[in-house]
Homo-oligomer: A and B are copies of this chain.
């Protein structure tokens, strides 16, 4: 049966660690796959209900203290089967949309400082994320290396790290490029080079 992606993240997270509430599931998602996957409560709670209605997860008694009314869930055999079925079908890659690159692509329609600002923001974001990812990687090696999922968790982490490093390297070169006089003249002040107008397509 076809389900939305949220359902599978939930199943996967519960397959790793049972007895989590919607609130916890969301936090777990942020802490583990957060750097490449986001979920909102508005999506999680309804999906939880649906999964329970279909018997893929079951509401379970809270394992601990009676905190504010909360409902924990566990994955069922059917749920695990559903997850595995989904895992086996080729991933779909939805057409990416990167507003950063889009604004950069149209960079010549604005002052160079605009593109430079975008790249700086990009750099900061990526640097911060790289730091936390490296930290997480270190912690995972110490605390989680014995879990069967560990090699796969590391795979996603090393992927993230590699991508971030490559992006940061690029961003340095990009900034250097934009700072040089090649592009660096405000279109308002003067015409730097040939009058080349926007008349033809690449």
**What residues make up the interface of A, taking CB atoms closer than 8 Å to B?**
5, 8-9, 12-13, 15-18, 28, 30-38, 80, 83-84, 86-88, 90-110, 114-115, 117-118, 121-122, 125, 128, 132-133, 135-136, 139-140, 143-144, 146-153, 155-156, 158-159, 162-163, 165-167, 169-170, 173-174, 177-178, 182-184, 186-187, 189-202
Kindly name the residue among A17, A144, A162, A198 whose own CB sees the greatest number of chain B CB atoms within 10 A: A198
B105 near A33 with CB under 8 A, answer yes
**Chain B residues within 8 Å of A155, by CB:** 104-105, 107, 174, 177
Q: How far is the CA of A122 from the CA of B163 in the complex (A)?
A: 15
Assuming A93-B100, A148-B196, A149-B107, is B201 touching A17 (CB within 8 A)? Answer: yes
Pairs A-B, 8 closest by C-beta atoms: A38-B95, A107-B152, A166-B166, A144-B195, A147-B191, A31-B197, A12-B106, A87-B110
Chain B residue, CB-CB nearest to A167: B163
Assuming A5-B99, A31-B200, A194-B28, is B170 touching A158 (CB within 8 A)? Answer: yes
B108 near A149 with CB under 8 A, answer yes
**Chain B residues within 8 Å of A136, by CB:** 195, 197-199
CB distance from A171 to the nearest CB of B (A): 9
CB distance from A37 to the nearest CB of B (A): 6
B17 near A191 with CB under 8 A, answer yes
Contact with A34, one of B30, B153, B200 (Cβ below 8 angstroms): B200
**Chain B residues within 8 Å of A183, by CB:** 151-152
Q: How far is the CA of A139 from the CA of B177 in the complex (A)?
A: 21
Assuming A17-B200, A166-B163, is B195 touching A153 (CB within 8 A)? Answer: yes
**Chain B residues within 8 Å of A108, by CB:** 148-149, 151-152
